[in-house]
Amino acid sequence: MTDIIEITAPIEQEGTKAVVRNWLKRIGDYVKEGDALVELETDKVTQEIPAPCDGILSEIAMEDGDDAAPGAILGRMSVESANGVAAQAAAVPLQIQPAQPATASATAYYSPAVRKAAEEYGIDPASLKGSGRDGRVTRADMDHAAETDTSHPSAPISQQAETGQTLPTAATDGKSRIVPHSAMRLSIAKHMAQSLATAPQVTAIFEADFTAIMRHRENHKERMKAQGVNLSYTAYFVAASVAAMKLVPEVNSQWHDDGLEIFADVNIGVGIALGDKGLVAPIIRQAQDLSLEVIAARLQDLTNRARSNALKGEELKGGTFTISNHGVSGSLVASPIIINQPQSAILGIGKLEKRVVVREVDGVDTIQIRPMAYVSLTIDHRSLDGHQTNAWLTEFVRVLQNWPQ
């Protein structure tokens, strides 16, 4: 007897929306309980959905690009109740009939998202060349077809006159292409626009001399490396931020219409770029209680897992302040670095480079070459004023420049 087990999207998703991104197994594959079956991308993380049991992947219900609501059926597995039958399947592959090519009369082979797009746009998916697995038509294919078909009533308004006549588009040489947005990119766009619409944002910029922390790092990095930890400059930025919060605790806050909520715990998010996918800001919790060494170790762990899509949803929630080390990609100054709402401020660190500076030695001005970087603090001007912003940055720079050896 064969039992059918449903593969479902998590009820509590780590994000506001999930999209099917990649099936890791094919129909007919024998899998064991816990094997990764499919990747779901949310606005926060990409997570692998494991097999709920041992068995055969018998159906894929949602294709690449389909929206997966909490609890949605992603696919189904066949499980033989007789002992040993499933195990034999691993050794003797099933003879699965390939899915029939999608046609106008065979809409059952299209995903729900594709069928919905077909109704919205009036486009027959059978007329399209699918970009999904085994040539299946995806929702992205349907969206692209609607956007590029300027004669179709569902084409974007920017490509049609109100009279129904088509208008010239910006790209008329046929060399442009549309790259569908990921769930993460759409979420970042929405969050950034919402942040700017919500809060009046002002940026103050200071300059910091990294000589002291560079010397300290040089003296201690080998000891830390022996413990398997990379002592990064970002660890110093986190520690110096904690010190500055002690002087100006209002920076570690959230605006409410009836008052300013100032947090006792300094939960610092650190921006980590994920290439073209976007970025995430996992949280170092209660940083005020951590040593530099522990901060460095946690940073390394979070960074490694962020880049391997292994972060947990709770590791991205509850931040009270954020650091963007944008200088690692070459920029000297970025302004404004948009606040990670509902926080009140975000720190930016520019590119570290050698500069000529004037330093007083025994009462005499001297010209020296020092490792310098611009540091900025973008604030929600509802929560903070200029004197608080400058006081915070002054203390942040002072701590870096006077780091004990």
Per-residue pLDDT 10s for the chain (405 aa) are 678 999 998 876 655 568 887 888 889 999 999 898 998 877 667 778 899 999 999 999 988 878 888 888 999 999 975 444 444 444 334 333 343 333 333 343 566 567 777 887 888 888 888 766 567 777 667 777 776 664 444 444 333 333 344 434 445 456 788 887 777 788 888 889 999 999 999 999 999 999 999 999 999 999 999 999 999 999 999 999 999 999 999 999 999 999 999 999 999 999 998 877 788 999 999 999 999 999 999 999 999 999 888 888 889 999 999 999 999 999 999 998 999 999 999 999 999 999 999 999 999 999 999 999 999 999 999 999 999 999 999 999 999 999 998
pTM recorded for the entire structure: 0.66
Number of domains in the chain: 2
Q: What is the DSSP string of 77-104?
A: EEEE-STTHHHHHHHS---PPPPPPP-T
Structure tokens at 321: 């302040």
CB atoms within 10 A of CB 122: 12
Structure tokens at 332: 């000297």
Told to judge if 181 belongs to the known catalytic residues of this protein, a careful annotator would answer no
Structure tokens at 250: 């209002």
Q: 229-267: string of b/e by CB count within 10 Å (b at 16+)?
A: bebbbbbbbbbbbbebbeebebbbbbbeeeeeeebeebb
Same domain, 67 and 196: no
Residue 205 lies in a domain: yes
User: Which residue, of 47, 64, 79, is where some domain finishes?
Assistant: 79
- Scanning 232-385, the segments in alpha helix (DSSP H) are 233-247, 292-307
Report helix, strand or coil for 170.
coil
Told to judge if 385 belongs to the known catalytic residues of this protein, a careful annotator would answer yes
Rg (alpha carbons) of the chain, rounded to whole number: 27
Q: Residue 243 sits in which domain range?
A: 188-402
Same domain, 240 and 382: yes
Catalytic residue among 134, 265, 289, 385: 385
CB atoms within 10 A of CB 385: 13
Residue 175 lies in a domain: no
Residue 177 lies in a domain: no
Catalytic residue among 67, 209, 381, 387: 381
Residue 174 lies in a domain: no
Residue 181 lies in a domain: no
User: Which residue, of 33, 49, 79, is where some domain finishes?
Assistant: 79
CB atoms within 10 A of CB 137: 27
